[in-house]
Amino acid sequence: MKTLIKNGRVITAVDDYRADILIEDEVVTVIGAHLDMEVDKTIDAAGKLVIPGGIDPHTHMELPFGGTQASDDFRTGTIAAAHGGTTCIIDFAVQNKGQSLIAGLDNWHQKAEGKCAIDYGFHLITTDFEDNQIEEMHTLMDEGVTSFKMFMAYPGVFLVDDATIFRAMSAAGERGGLICMHAENGIVINEIIKHALAKGHTAPKYHALTRPTVAEAEGVHRAIAIAEMAETPVYIVHLSCADALNQVRQARDRGIAAFAETCPQYLFLSLDDYGDDFEGAKYVMTPPLREKANQAELWKGLKMDDLQVISTDHCPFCMKEQKELGRNDFTKIPNGAPGVEHRVPLIYNGGVVENRISLNRFVELTSTAAAKMFGMFPKKGTIAVGSDADIVIFDANKEQTLGVATHHMNVDYSAYEGRTIRGVVETVLSRGKVVIEEGEFKGKAGDGQFVKRGTCVAI
Ligand code: URP
Ligand code: ZN
Ligand code: ZN
């Protein structure tokens, strides 16, 4: 199958030029001016941006959490991702306490197998790690799972102690693996929560008010310090505030390999969104939304490369029957929010249209940097000869209004209801196959392949 994308403006993390792109089967084979060959399909991209497919390295499809399960499965979640110009996700498999790492991974392979509309990889949430599991960790890395998430939060569920973190960081670091850290002091947060509940503070906004930014900054500081002692890089997930960012900045200024991602919710939403009533449950996620002043600092961090990646932490729960579990107690609201569908256009609008970042940086933050960080570059994350033809044709002039009536995520609310943004994903190719055409899904659940990742090449 040969496909020719003609007349587009090709943007990568470093280039900006007009060219045609020839795709043969799954990969890009020729890029040049005025290509004119016999093909099976021609796509006219005149007046449009042609960008690498988005990579979202932080999703939680079907995650069992908070007494329920994330409402998108690998089929609905990856179709929604494709609609929004994302052609690869890295989801978090879970090793439950007492379970082997391999059993946790196998479980996620079973969940995803035959269901994904786009390519996918896995990190492994590691909840137990002893020295006798080093070999198992290295086996996982040989199988393409080269990053591991650990939690300093959620005591009794995912939280691991500092010794476990040190052991896992040392073991991962030996082979170029990366520990992704949920950095928040969950032990102290639990004490703050007890005080709030004792005072009768049960509304959703208390989720945010019991998780101060200093608890996140302390976690980030500790994660980086442990990584420094283990002589390994560390990647902080879903960084939400200036206090935490300053810890990353200081470490990077000292030459430490500390990396971090933020998410659209921390760039576009704030503490004000909780309000006083139960509608605020829509925004119960961890870390929580912060004071608005943090947003400008995060944008500065993205611009100056103290933050390298924008992911979504997509972890949707419906208001009905799921978020409702915590109607009388915010600690029982399942933590997480939907986002996988709108990351690329939201960042285009808030970043490029609002003059905060360049077009190249937009591509880097939404695609290329994640490919490099998580060992998929240059197969993914760019438009180049030999790379997978994961390509988005993006109409930068068209507007769209976000909302539950039009989104494709399997969740009964939008965190961005009624927000109008500039930038619309028009056509999406996943390894050369058109999966979205003029906004319609044309792909097939099951066509997405597991991506066996290498190690980080971002350092
Ligand atoms: O609230 C969130 N972020 N839910 C998903 C689990 C996590 O901590 O990433
Ligand atoms: Zn987390
Ligand atoms: Zn997460």
How many whole angstroms separate alpha carbon 82 and alpha carbon 119?
10
Which two three-digit tokens encode residue 430?
A: 């996943």
pLDDT at 55 (0 to 100)? 99
DSSP 389: -
458 falls in which pLDDT band (50, 70, 90)?
confident
126, 150, 180, 315: which to mutate for ligand 1, most atoms within 8 A of CB?
A: 315
Global confidence as pTM: 0.98
- Ligand 1 pocket member 286 (CB < 6 A): yes
Q: Are residues 298 and 234 in the same domain?
A: yes
Protein residue whose Cα sits closest to atom 4 of ligand 1: 336
- Tell me: the pLDDT tens digits for 107-131? 999 999 999 999 999 999 999 999 9
pLDDT at 376 (0 to 100)? 98
Q: Are residues 403 and 418 in the same domain?
A: yes
Q: Relative to the CA of 335, which ligand 1 atom is closest?
A: 1
Protein residue whose Cα sits closest to atom 3 of ligand 1: 286
- Ligand 1 pocket member 336 (CB < 6 A): yes
59, 335, 411: which to mutate for ligand 1, most atoms within 8 A of CB?
A: 335
Distance, C-alpha 413 to centroid of its chain:
19
Q: Which ligand is nearest to the CA of 313?
A: 3
CB neighbours of 271 closer than 8 A, spacing ≥ 6? 205, 208, 288, 289, 290, 291, 292
DSSP 350: I
- Segment 348-370 mean pLDDT: 98
Residue 164 lies in a domain: yes
Which two three-digit tokens encode residue 284?
A: 């119960």
- Tell me: the pLDDT tens digits for 292-323? 999 999 999 999 999 999 999 999 999 999 99
286, 289, 290, 312: which to mutate for ligand 1, most atoms within 8 A of CB?
A: 286
* Ligand 2 midpoint to CA 305 (Å): 21
- Ligand 1 pocket member 341 (CB < 6 A): no
pLDDT at 292 (0 to 100)? 98
- Ligand 1 pocket member 285 (CB < 6 A): yes
Q: Residue 30: phi, psi to the nearest 5?
A: -140, 140
459 falls in which pLDDT band (50, 70, 90)?
confident
DSSP assignments along 412-432, one per residue = S--TTTT-EEEEEEEEEEETT
pLDDT at 373 (0 to 100)? 98
- Tell me: the pLDDT tens digits for 143-180? 999 999 999 999 999 999 999 999 999 999 999 999 99
78 falls in which pLDDT band (50, 70, 90)?
very high
69 falls in which pLDDT band (50, 70, 90)?
very high
How many whole angstroms separate alpha carbon 292 and alpha carbon 166?
34
User: Among residues 350, 373, 396, which one ends one of the domains?
Assistant: 373
Neighbours of 195 (CB within 10 A): 10
Residue 452 lies in a domain: no
Q: Are residues 360 and 413 in the same domain?
A: no
Q: Are residues 85 and 104 in the same domain?
A: yes
Residue 102 lies in a domain: yes
- Ligand 1 pocket member 315 (CB < 6 A): yes
Protein residue whose Cα sits closest to atom 5 of ligand 1: 336
Which two three-digit tokens encode residue 86?
A: 């994302």
Q: In 3-state terms, what secondary structure has residue 352?
A: helix
Protein residue whose Cα sits closest to atom 9 of ligand 1: 313
Residue 449 lies in a domain: no
Q: Establish how many alpha carbons lie within 13 A of residue 19's alpha carbon, considering only the half-sphere containing its beta carbon.
A: 17
- Segment 72-90 mean pLDDT: 98
Q: Relative to the CA of 92, which ligand 1 atom is closest?
A: 9
- Tell me: the pLDDT tens digits for 215-243? 999 999 999 999 999 999 999 999 999 99
Q: In 3-state terms, what secondary structure has residue 82?
A: helix
* Ligand 3 midpoint to CA 380 (Å): 22
Q: Are residues 317 and 258 in the same domain?
A: yes
- Ligand 1 pocket member 203 (CB < 6 A): no
Let me know if 386 is exposed, middle or buried by CB neighbors in 10 A (0-12, 13-18, 19+). exposed
- Ligand 1 pocket member 335 (CB < 6 A): yes
How many whole angstroms separate alpha carbon 242 and alpha carbon 234?
18
Q: Are residues 79 and 213 in the same domain?
A: yes
Compute the mean pLDDT over every residue in the chain, rounded to the nearest whole number: 98
Q: Are residues 228 and 270 in the same domain?
A: yes
- Tell me: the pLDDT tens digits for 414-428? 999 999 999 999 999
Residue 414, domain CATH: 2.30.40.10
For residue 232, the enclosing domain spans 54-373
Protein residue whose Cα sits closest to atom 8 of ligand 1: 286
Residue 128 lies in a domain: yes
Residue 447 lies in a domain: no
DSSP assignments along 17-66, one per residue = EEEEEEEETTEEEEEETT-----SEEEE-TTSEEEEPEEEEEE-TT-EET
- Ligand 1 pocket member 273 (CB < 6 A): no
Protein residue whose Cα sits closest to atom 7 of ligand 1: 286
User: Among residues 342, 373, 404, which one ends one of the domains?
Assistant: 373
pLDDT at 412 (0 to 100)? 98
Q: Are residues 322 and 434 in the same domain?
A: no
Is the confidence at residue 398, as pLDDT, over 90?
yes
* Ligand 3 midpoint to CA 1 (Å): 38
User: Among residues 348, 373, 398, which one ends one of the domains?
Assistant: 373
Lookup result for tokens 């310090």 = 225
Residue 61, domain CATH: 3.20.20.140
Is the confidence at residue 54, as pLDDT, over 80?
yes
Torsion, Cα of 429, 432, 435, 440 (10° steps): 70
- Ligand 1 pocket member 373 (CB < 6 A): no
Q: Are residues 96 and 149 in the same domain?
A: yes
- Tell me: the pLDDT tens digits for 235-278? 999 999 999 999 999 999 999 999 999 999 999 999 999 999 99
Q: Could you give the angle at the alpha carbon of 336 between the alpha carbons of 391 and 420, nearest 5°?
A: 55
β-partners of residue 50 are 10, 393
Residue 453 lies in a domain: no
Q: Are residues 39 and 64 in the same domain?
A: no
β-partners of residue 262 are 310
Q: Are residues 229 and 295 in the same domain?
A: yes
Residues shown for the chain: 459
pLDDT at 73 (0 to 100)? 98
Is the confidence at residue 82, as pLDDT, over 90?
yes
Domain count, the chain: 2
124, 158, 285, 317: which to mutate for ligand 1, most atoms within 8 A of CB?
A: 285
Region of residue 418 (left: phi > 0; alpha: psi -120 to 50; beta: else) = left
Q: Are residues 286 and 222 in the same domain?
A: yes
Residue 459 lies in a domain: no
